[in-house]
Chains A and B, each alone.
Chain A
Amino acid sequence: MPDLLADKKDREFKLIDRILSGHNEGFYELIAPYQRRVYMTAFDILQVEADAEEVAQEAFLKAFRNLRSFRREAQFSTWLLRITVNEARMRLRQRREISFDAVFPTKEEADFTPIFLADWREIPVEAVLREETRRLLCESIAALPEHYREIITLRDVNGLNNAETAEILGLSLGNAKVRLLRARIMLRDLFVERLHDRRRHRLSREVAP
């Protein structure tokens, strides 16, 4: 497995050398495996398809223009996603006149208590199959504060490891883990709330004449 990864890295670095020596068309091959990931990352942060597509295009363009400054200590994909996250953040900032970042300080060390509900034990896994559950989950992700949505997107949606995620977000590994913990618990809280609201809603409809 590590050999496969090393091979891939090696192939990518060779391809990058070729592009830098003037074979621009190699860039399509370089980015082909990452189109989806870049788009999904932008979408999860922005929650609007058209914006996500524009940001994805910008990210690829920036990656091309700045290819020479890519330091090969990291993987190309990590570098590319860092550009994507930065572009998406810029777009978010443009989109709203007031920055909410100031209102949601990222105090990672503050104490917290997860919500306790009487009957939250089951988030049934078979619910995965249901479109409604899917929708509730998307709503829950959308309801997360920006810095939590970013880390969930990278770590749990895109499946990057903690070190890559920390690097992309410019966090220490320790802070990334703490933020991830908060993000996961908040996401779970948001999802459980929505699941229960829906059940209550359904129950009241069944009881109504």
Chain B
Amino acid sequence: MKFDCKHIWRELSNYLDGEVPPEVRRDIEAHVAQCRHCAALLDSTHNVIVLIADERRLELPVGFSARLRERLERELATSKPD
């Protein structure tokens, strides 16, 4: 089956997650080799996903754990799980 651009968009996310069957993967890669728009779409979406995974450098606010513990202590001292 020959893939058109709309097919690629529909499968884009599954493709990037490695969740397409080998024959679909081959069709996508054949299309992308010919289509500059879809190649760009694939590349840039992949890069954005890489970038946001990297965002995890964000730190917990200072004192977060201490404040959480304080709040939990009040609860845990007086009650039991239902």
Contact B52 A157 (CB under 8 A): yes
| In the complex, chain A residues whose CB is within 8 Å of the CB of B77 | 24
Q: What's the Cα separation between A67 and B82 when bound, in Å?
A: 7
A123 and B44 contacting across the interface, CB-CB below 8 Å: yes
Per the bound structure, the CA–CA distance linking A53 and B63 in Å amounts to 11
When distances are taken between beta carbons in the complex, the residues of chain A under 8 Å from B40 are: 120-121
A128 partner, pick from B17, B51, B80, beta carbons under 8 A: B51
Q: Which chain A positions have C-beta within 8 A of B72? A: 27-28, 57, 60-61, 64
Residues of chain B from 43 to 63 with CB closer than 8 A to chain A in the complex: 43-45, 47-56, 58, 60-61
A184 touching B82 by the CB < 8 A rule?
no
When C-beta atoms are compared, the residue in chain A nearest to B74 turns out to be A61
- Report if A36-B50 is in contact (Cβ < 8 Å); known contacts: A28-B69, A137-B55: no
**Chain B positions within 8 Å of A181 at CB level:** 9-10, 12-14
Q: State whether A60 and B68 are in contact (beta carbons under 8 Å apart), knowing that A40-B56, A157-B53, A181-B10 are contacts in the complex.
A: yes
Across the interface, do B52 and A137 meet the contact criterion of CB distance under 8 Å?
A: yes
Give the chain A neighbours of B55 by CB distance below 8 A.
134, 137-138, 157
Interface string of A133-152 (1 = CB under 8 A from B): 11001100100000000001
Q: Are A35 and B71 in contact (CB under 8 A)?
A: no
Q: Which residues of B contact A180 (CB under 8 A)?
A: 13
Cα distance, A121 to B43, chains bound together (Å):
7
Determine chain A's interface SS by DSSP, over half rule: helix
Tally inter-chain residue pairs, CB-CB below 8 A.
126
Q: Does B79 contact A (CB under 8 A)?
A: yes
A49 close to B68 (CB less than 8 A): no
**Cβ–Cβ contact B67 & A137, under 8 A:** no
Instruction: Give A121's nearest chain B residue, CB to CB.
Output: B40
The answer to whether B67 touches A57, judged by C-beta atoms less than 8 angstroms apart, is yes
> Given A123-B47, A185-B12: A68 and B71 within 8 A (CB)?
no
Residue contact B58 to A65, C-beta cutoff 8 Å? no
Assess whether B37 is in contact with A116, with CB atoms less than 8 Å apart: yes
Q: Closest A-chain residue to B14, C-beta based?
A: A177
Asked, given contacts A19-B81, A65-B82, A138-B55, whether A184 binds B12 with beta carbons under 8 Å apart, the answer is: yes
Of the candidates A28, A66, A187, the one whose C-beta lies within 8 Å of that of B48 is A187
Q: Given the complex, which residues of B lie within 8 Å of A7, measured CB to CB?
A: none
B66 to chain A, nearest CB (A): 11
| Chain A to chain B contacts (Cβ below 8 Å), 7 pairs | A28-B72, A36-B60, A69-B82, A125-B50, A152-B52, A157-B55, A162-B19
